[in-house]
Each structure stands twice: as structure tokens, then as C-alpha cells.
Structure 1
């Protein structure tokens, strides 16, 4: 059998996977114990044990089933494969909008992340989630290729009204908007006046919105400045990565003022 055939032999039967998992956990089990823990007939269990034994993954002696070292390796590798596929499925709706080669991060670190998408009945789900986090944040660092008045109002409320502190790195057209559009200029001007806000213009294109809000990281990916997916995580390694990304963009940005 080829490697693909061998994988298929295991993947097409949840009972075989379950048997290997149970034997991995316990090393050795009586056949009747397997029957008690698996929702299948004795005939089905016996037939699947035959297949596993034929592959050298399980050995049987007088009704006792023992996993072999080869079986342990296969079970561990298969579990890793399942985890990778599950992670890929989870991240698909987010990663499809990430520009190629711009997310230099071990994706396994995002296994516990939460993804929010615009929904037919809730088109502002991402915006609402981001605004809510801003309203709860005391310290933030954000890289911003697009903007919105609702989030700006929330930032103003936190910095002016609640003593929060922040820094933003934005694209040049966003910097121009903040300075020229009165509704933005008034809000950012008030924030600047507190001494707790710094603004920087990055001379280039930013691939996505990346923000560190206290202990939480948010990444918002967009298409033509239209947000498509928001990913949120509290993974500390991802937070360290996000802060380094922020510092990298800031090093290539110039400070500016809206006043």
C-alpha cells in the first residue's frame, strides 16, 4: 500500500481512529473494554482490529489488544494532521483576504483565536467588536490602512474621557483625512491635546489593520478598504509578534499632528 492508501485506510473509519486513540491513551486494553467504549458491534470492532493488526499498528494476545510503537507513531501523526486540517478550515475565511507572504507568523499560534465576519443579518459585527474592545482598552498600538468614524469616536472617549493612551501608524491618505476632514480633525485634535496620543504616517502600503489592545491582538483584513474578517487572540507569543510588527512600521514612519 502507498502512504496515501494507508492514510485512507485509517481516515475512512472513525472506529479505527478511535481504537488507536484509546490504545494510545492506555497502551493495552481488553477487547471487551474496547467494545464498551466504542459505539459499534463486536463484529465491527473485530474487523477493524484485523485491519489495524495487518498494518502492524496493533497486536493481540488472548483477547488483549496492545498498540505497537509503529501504531503510536501513526496515531500521533494522524492526530497532528487532523489538527492542521481543522486549523486550516477555521482560518480559511480569514486567510483568503490576507495578502500573500504578509503574515509572517506560525499559524498554529492562532488555534485558539476567534474570527468574526460580516453576517447578512449583522453586517457591522466586526466594527462593533472592534469598537467594544477600544472602549475597554487602556493602552493600544495600532497599524491602520483604513479608518472609520465610529472607532475614532470610541478612541476619543477612552483617551479624552478615561485616560487611555495610544499610538497609531497610518497610511498617508489616512493621515491626510485626519487632518483635512473636520469630524476627524476635531476628535484626533482633542486626543492629541491630552498628550496621550501619538500619530505616525507610514510611507507605504499596510497589508492589514494590526492592533494590540492591552493583552488582546486584533487583525482586520479587507478588500478595497472593505473589512472582510477580524481575528482576535490573547496568545502572548502573537502579542509579542504584533508589537514587533508595530515597531517595524513605526521605524519607517514620520510623526504628524492634526492641529
Structure 2
């Protein structure tokens, strides 16, 4: 194990080593091509190539260098580890609130996700991120423990205008909160009676807030006090498949919202 850790340290201490090995794992390169691809100087490249040849990670044919089978194995492992660490670093600020226990996909699928957090100047940035997507969406599916005023306003306007299809399933508490406000109750009724919208009420608390906007998933993350901490969005196919299955699960267990009952 110690020798393996030493090899990991050997690579990790130099971004040039990682870039050279990844480049050679993709296709053969000359030293000049490696210099152009990595920005490393010729003396640095010379040391790196000698070290790699000693480890039998690369071989040379004429003027070209290429990764060996074991070199490609190491390159693949380093690439995977870098992706994992980049994803972890991105998620670290919101990890304590992430509902990982109900997220049925590999967190590595969030590598390219966009994470929007509130700031002092933009405290509502996560909600705004979602609402901006809703303003142009043709098909929306929501599964949530909350239905905020801004989202209701945006969705109602587009649905009533015939520019959006909406299927939302909400916890009973979310519906009741809207029904307590005269203005919001009217908007909710208008949405519920629109031809291209269907709203269902789930009898229990929904522990997650998912919005599927066309082919993109938006996950709202809240802390234990219910304060919004982040919006995470991605178009990763596995995350999208998971979000659709969660929506379907809660949808099937819910009952249609009857506007007369509000």
C-alpha cells in the first residue's frame, strides 16, 4: 500500500506529469507536441519522460512516445480520481444538507452540475436560477415539500397562456400554506383548473424538492431549519432518470387537487 501511495504522490505533486500521461494515453505524441499540449518546458518533459520510461508507463517508437497498457491503466485511474475530487470539492459546501440517502444515483454524476448558492447580494439566487428556467420551459414536473410564490406565479402565467405543460405533486403542507393566502389561493385554483396542468396533493411530507424542466433536473437543498442553501442542476441522464422515477413514485401515491376543496 505504501508503494502505491508513493506513486500517487509522485503524480499528484506535478500537474505536468498528469497532463503528459493523460495525453500519451489518448494517442502518441512527440516531445514538441507534448510541449504544445501541456506548456511544459523541454527540460521538464525530459525528466517526466525518463521517469515514466523507468516505470514502464510509456514506450518510444522513433520520435513518438505512447502509453503502455499499464500506463493507460494508471492514466485512467488518475483521471477518475481527479473527477471524484473535483466533484467532492464542488459539493463540499452543501454536502451537509444534501439528501444523499434518497438520491438514488452516484454522486459522481454531479461532476458537471451547476451549484447556485445564496449570497449577501443575491440571497434568492437558488430560487431565481430555477425560475429563470421555468420562464422558458415547455414541460415541467415538480415533486416538492414547498411551492413558493415566485414559482407559482411563473408557472401559472405560462400554463394559462398555453405555453407550458405542468405536473406537480406537493405535500399537503405546501398546498395548505398557499390556500391560507387569498391571492395565492386564486392563482393556485387558476393553475389547477388549466387544461395543460395537473396538481396532486401527497398526504405525507415530501422530503425532497425536485423540478424537472424539459430535460434538466433542479434540486433545491435546504438545511434543517428549512432555509434554502443551494440549487443544483444538471442534465445528466442518470440523474434525470432518477428524478423522473421519484416524481412518478410520489405522483402515484398522491390524489388530484380539487380546487373546490381549497
Partner in structure 1 of residue 5 of structure 2:
4
Distance 2:125 2:175 in 1: 26
Aligned to 2:111: 111
Bigger CA drift: 63-72 or 115-124? 63-72
Q: Structure 1 residue 60: deviation in Å?
A: 5.2
Q: Deviations over 1:42-83 (max 9, x none)?
A: 443333233222322134578764432211211121112112
Shift in CA distance, 196/162, structure 1 to aligned 2, threshold 3 Å? closer
After superposition, the Cα gap between the structure-2 partners of 1:156 and 1:50, relative to the gap in structure 1 and judged at 3 Å, is same
Q: Which moved more, 1:181-190 or 1:65-74?
A: 65-74
3-state DSSP of counterpart to 1:225: coil
Cα distance in 1, alignment partners of residues 183 and 119 from structure 2: 28
In structure 2, C-alpha distance between the alignment counterparts of 1:235 and 1:64, rounded to whole Å: 37
Shift of 1:211: 1.4
Residues matched between the structures, number:
258
Which residue is 1:246 aligned to? 247
Deviation of residue 172 (structure 1)? Answer: 1.9
Aligned mates of 1:202, 1:232 — CA distance in 2: 24
Partner Cα distance (1:209, 1:141) in 2: 11
Distance 1:78 1:212 in 2: 33
Aligned-pair distance for 1:195? 3.6
Structure 1 unpaired stretches of 5+: none
Residue in 2 that maps onto 1:210:
210
Deviation at 1:156, TM superposition (A): 1.7
Match of 1:168, SS? strand
Contact 2:105–2:238 (Cα < 8 Å) also in 1: no
TM-score, with length taken from structure 2: 0.86
8 Å contact 1:134–1:155 — kept in the other structure? yes
Pairing 1:130–2:127 present: no
The 8 Å contact of residues 145 and 206 in structure 1, kept in 2 or not, is answered as: yes
For 1:19 and 1:131, how far apart are their aligned partners in 2?
43
Match of 2:201 in 1: 201
SS in 1 for 2:18: helix
What is the aligned partner in structure 2 of residue 256 from structure 1? 257
Q: Deviations over 1:237-258 (max 9, x none)?
A: 4333212110101122222324
- Whether 1:154 aligns to 2:154 is yes
With normalisation by structure 1, the TM-score equals: 0.86
> Measured at CA, do residues 73 and 46 of structure 1 come closer, stay the same or move farther in structure 2, by a change above 3 Å?
same
Q: Give 2:233's aligned residue.
A: 232
Distance (Å, rounded) in 1 between the aligned partners of 2:164 and 2:62: 70
